[in-house]
């Protein structure tokens, strides 16, 4: 136990140390200020802006920004779908893999387009090297940069600035943030034994004279943008539990830090934009405390192990089912909570094998979407909760609510409500339909309370742009491919449009002079109320699901019922 806690604590201390500095760098990039690497990035950007006819100083309204997001995403989606269904005829296909079924290709395209990367296939046996790099990895960069751009535009509007230009933000996000860090990270993973090759599957002779097929490919470059961009889709079916994606504790630490780097830093980016680092630190610690509580719930459950198994063998052991022994219970527990907290979705163990506490924590993360939140848009959800907290507290004291000196009125509350209410619609409605037909539609492998969690987890993962899953579902079917597409699209684009319109409306408001009666949003009292509202809204909305799933499963195990 002490060694596992030390590993978790050391990782979190590194996160606390790097987040403010990285947040400051992101602020400089998107404020257009000078950075130490301008001599490299500026010439590349000038060429791209010239080729695309982009005017860097041309600002967009919320509607224009949203249309730019939808147009570019539509074009990219059509291109990638075409590449997937024609992969048989394209190069870099040494295993001569045929195209996936149309519904699987559609689900895969939409999944990676929305920065979800939910996979109903095993990469090494379904997609060619060309598809993995030119289609999937391409969307990993562009979808992550899209989310980051929307998050930055929202922060600009919230702090009274113009929203900026989507094409400029998209380019800067890739050129100045994602691409350089991915290159550095890929080189670091190469030193740890992650392959980067276009050679075909290697055939080796086993000791008993048989043959073993070892899949490989351009994994290192794929792996780092998977983690850094909160993508989560694995080159291999086993994802980061595969030894060629994540071979040792050093690579595991690098991938863990990459997963949380941007979401944690964006809180400080907001603080710089708002010229209020005190509020940023308070929000950071609020999110950190909620995250730490969920890690504690998960870690204690995994360390305690399965009571039924321990009772049978007469000894206590940690739960190691579905885990890689090179990471153990501690790093698997931390990763499981972090991958659902950041909306990354990568896994280094099987979430289906988590104890009920782990199932509760991972589901709650995807229900809340703000601990730490996804790539840009997840961070924006945190500030939507701040706006709702200002509104609620304003009603309690009989004052017109204000945030950053701007009045919160009916249009802002309507948009904020849409952002938060669309998530349960995208999760609960298709879950109810699937659970109504457990054999023909749901394809549940573990009936009972765990089966409910399996189904709800799949839709929560899709709607939250997460991508991880409680494995065991027959999720490669026509129903799952098409129904999760509904959750993928609804959970991604409706909030993006509403966020941009909300940011636009906030940017146009006149600043109200601060008085002695102005509600302060940068003190511990307000942040505590915010945390309470987040947990109340998140838990109450999804409490029946949590009660029928992981909570009921936990009581069943505790009672000793098999």
Model confidence pLDDT, tens digit, residues 342-391: 999 999 999 998 999 999 999 999 999 988 887 767 788 899 998 988 88
Question: 137: pLDDT confidence band, cut at 50, 70 and 90?
Answer: very high
| Rg of the chain, C-alpha, whole Å | 23
Do the Cβ atoms of 362 and 453 come closer than 8 Å? no
pLDDT digits (tens, 9 = 90+) for 447-500: 789 889 999 999 999 999 998 988 778 888 899 999 999 999 999 999 999 999
Query: What pLDDT score was predicted for residue 82?
Result: 97
pLDDT digits (tens, 9 = 90+) for 183-205: 999 999 999 999 999 998 898 88
- 372 preceded by a cis bond (ω within 30 of 0): yes
Q: Which helix (H) or strand (E) holds 313?
A: helix 307-313
Query: What pLDDT score was predicted for residue 155?
Result: 95
Query: What pLDDT score was predicted for residue 517?
Result: 65
How many domains are contained in the chain?
Answer: 1
Contacts of 168 (CB under 8 A, 6+ apart): 49, 54, 56
pLDDT digits (tens, 9 = 90+) for 316-331: 678 888 898 889 899 9
> What is the chain's mean pLDDT, rounded?
90
Give residue 471's domain range. 2-559
Taking CA 302 as the corner, what is the angle to CA 300 and CA 306, rounded to the nearest 5 degrees? 115
Q: Rounded to whole angstroms, what are the CA distances from 135 to 21, 138, 492, 498?
A: 33, 5, 20, 28
Nearest to 348 by CA among 245, 498, 436: 245
What the block records as the tokens of 402 is: 């204000």
Nearest to 430 by CA among 481, 474, 381, 389: 481
Which residues sit opposite 406 in a β-bridge? 403
Q: Rounded to whole angstroms, what are the CA distances from 332 to 16, 319, 326?
A: 20, 11, 10
The predicted model gives 76-100 an average pLDDT of: 94
Which residues sit opposite 402 in a β-bridge? 407
Query: What pLDDT score was predicted for residue 349?
Result: 92
């Amino acid at each position: 136990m002490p060694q596992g806690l030390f590993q978790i604590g050391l990782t979190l201390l590194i996160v606390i140390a790097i987040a403010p500095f990285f947040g400051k760098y992101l602020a400089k990039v998107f404020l257009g200020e000078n950075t130490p690497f301008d001599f490299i990035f500026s010439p590349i950007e000038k060429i791209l802006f010239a080729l695309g006819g982009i005017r860097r100083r041309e600002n967009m309204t919320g509607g224009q920004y949203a249309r730019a997001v939808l147009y570019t995403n539509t074009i990219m989606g059509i291109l990638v779908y075409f590449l997937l269904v024609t992969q048989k005829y394209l190069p870099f296909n040494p295993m001569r893999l045929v195209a996936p079924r149309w519904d699987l290709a559609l689900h895969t395209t939409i999944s990676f387009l929305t920065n979800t990367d939910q996979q109903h296939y095993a990469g090494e046996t379904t997609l060619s090297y060309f598809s993995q790099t030119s289609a999937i990895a391409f969307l990993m960069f562009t979808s992550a940069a899209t989310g980051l751009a929307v998050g930055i535009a929202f922060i600009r509007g919230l702090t009274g600035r113009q929203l900026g230009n989507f094409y400029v933000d998209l380019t800067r996000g890739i050129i100045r943030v994602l691409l350089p860090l991915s290159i550095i990270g890929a080189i670091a993973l190469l030193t740890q034994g992650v392959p980067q090759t276009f050679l075909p599957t290697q055939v080796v002779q086993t000791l008993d004279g048989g043959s073993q097929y070892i899949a490989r490919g351009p994994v290192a470059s794929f792996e780092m943008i998977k983690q850094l961009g909160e993508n989560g889709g694995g080159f291999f079916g086993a994802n980061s539990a595969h030894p060629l994606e994540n071979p040792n504790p050093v690579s595991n630490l690098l991938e863990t830090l990459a997963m949380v780097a941007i979401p944690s830093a964006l809180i400080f980016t907001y603080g710089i934009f708002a010229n209020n680092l005190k509020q940023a630190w308070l929000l950071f610690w609020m999110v950190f405390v909620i995250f730490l509580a969920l890690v504690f719930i998960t870690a204690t459950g995994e360390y305690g192990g399965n009571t039924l198994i321990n009772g049978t063998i007469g000894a206590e052991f940690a739960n190691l089912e579905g885990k890689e022994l090179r990471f153990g219970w501690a790093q698997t527990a931390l990763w499981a909570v972090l991958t659902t907290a950041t909306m990354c979705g990568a896994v280094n163990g099987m979430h289906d094998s988590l104890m009920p506490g782990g199932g509760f924590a991972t589901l709650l993360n995807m229900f809340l979407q703000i601990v730490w939140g996804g790539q840009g848009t997840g961070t924006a959800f945190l500030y939507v909760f701040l706006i709702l907290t200002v509104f609620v507290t304003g009603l309690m004291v009989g004052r017109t609510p204000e945030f950053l000196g701007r009045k919160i009125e009916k249009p802002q509350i309507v948009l904020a409500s849409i952002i938060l209410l669309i998530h349960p619609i995208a999760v609960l409605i298709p879950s109810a339909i699937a659970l109504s037909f457990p054999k023909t539609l749901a394809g549940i492998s573990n009936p009972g309370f765990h089966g409910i969690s399996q189904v709800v987890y799949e839709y929560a993962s899709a709607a939250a742009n997460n991508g991880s899953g409680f494995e065991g579902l027959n999720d490669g079917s026509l129903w799952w491919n098409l129904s999760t597409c509904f959750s993928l699209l609804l959970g991604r684009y409706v909030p993006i449009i509403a966020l941009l319109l909300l940011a636009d409306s906030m940017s146009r408001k006149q600043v109200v002079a601060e008085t002695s009666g102005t509600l302060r949003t940068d003190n511990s009292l307000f942040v505590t109320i915010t945390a309470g509202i987040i947990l109340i809204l998140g838990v109450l909305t999804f409490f029946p699901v949590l009660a029928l799933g992981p909570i009921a499963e936990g009581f069943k195990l505790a009672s000793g019922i098999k």
